[in-house]
Amino acid sequence: MPKTVACPTCNTEVAWQPENKFRPFCSERCKLIDLGAWATEAYRVPVKEEPDPGESSSSGQGPG
């Protein structure tokens, strides 16, 4: 009896086998949905810019 897992996106039972390349997702759609959430905001990683240690000139920030 093959092991089954729940699709992280829709909680559908998915057979955990090499044939299913979308595992642990039930389908490519659910996989894309999860990846989309990953890229949008669910797991957004804070990005901060650090100034170059050598550069000593200040750049003005104007409108536009």
Shorter beta-carbon distance to Zn ion: residue 19 or 55: 19
Binding flags for Zn ion, 15-54, as an x/- string (CB under 5 A): -----------x---x------------------------
User: Could you identify the residue written with the tokens 């992280």?
Assistant: 8
Q: Which stretch binds Zn ion (CB under 5 A): 7-15, 16-24, 38-46, 51-59?
A: 7-15
Q: Does 4 bind Zn ion (CB under 5 A)?
A: no
Cα–Cα distance measured from residue 34 to residue 10, given in angstroms and rounded to the nearest whole number: 10
CA separation (Å) from 16 to 6, 26, 42, 64? 10, 10, 26, 52
For residue 34, which amino acid is it? D
Q: Which stretch binds Zn ion (CB under 5 A): 2-10, 15-23, 39-47, 49-57?
A: 2-10
Q: Is 29 helix (H, G, I), strand (E, B) or coil?
A: helix
